[in-house]
Amino acid sequence: GVGGILGLGLLGVGAHATFTPSATAHQTISSGTLGLVLFSPTAAETGNTTNNLTLDPITTSGATFIQQERIGVKNAGTDPIKSFTVTTSANPTNGLATNVMACVTYDGTSTVLYTGPAHAVHVVQAHTVTSGHFVPLRIQLYAGTVNTNCGTKTGPGLPATALGQSSTFTMRVVGTG
């Protein structure tokens, strides 16, 4: 009766109200981790199982040499890695470091990923690495005429000014998921 008429008066003629039930939704979204590391069977190497791995130092008294390192690019995270890049740097950048060459292949194959100056290695791989898995690589550091996984390399060898010097090469890996 009267309450209904008063209610119409408050709303006004032609006015209306729409009532909807309230709705809520809840969804948990979680993400994994990207965790790309380098590792080597030589546990003495600095940075083993990090993204910066310092290889065994090079000290040579001869103009011709070859030094091999087995390394792996491992996904220590939970999300798959879609591609990775491996680069190097030398310390110190002396006559030895600037004259050392590098051959990078998949370990156990002759598939060449890089051949050129060791201080400028740049390997980009569109290679999916799932969690807990790794890609085995081999890097050969050399000077002079030597047989490598990249083939026979013919070079002049180290200059006399580089003999007796020491240098280390650090490999770095970064990846994208």
Query: Which class for 50: exposed (0-12), middle (13-18), buried (19 or more C-beta within 10 A)?
Result: middle
Instruction: State how far the Cα of 160 lies from the Cα of 164, in Å rounded to an integer.
Output: 9
Q: Is the pTM of this model over 0.85?
A: no
What's the confidence (pLDDT) of residue 8?
46
Residue environment code for 62-89, b if the CB has 16+ CB neighbours within 10 A, otherwise e: ebebebebebbbbbbbeeebeebebbbb
Instruction: State how far the Cα of 84 lies from the Cα of 40, in Å rounded to an integer.
Output: 17
Q: β-strands 65-75, 122-125: how paired?
A: unpaired
Helix (H, G, I), strand (E, B) or coil at 124: strand
DSSP 2: H
Give the helix/strand (H/E) hosting 136: strand 134-143
pLDDT in tens, 126-138: 888 999 999 999 9
pLDDT in tens, 69-107: 999 999 999 999 999 999 999 988 888 999 999 999 999
Rounded to 5 degrees, φ, ψ at 26 are -140, 125
What's the confidence (pLDDT) of residue 170?
92
Q: Which residues contact 122 (CB under 8 A, 6 or more apart)?
A: 85, 86, 87, 114
Give the helix/strand (H/E) hosting 4: helix 2-11
Report the residue count for the chain: 177
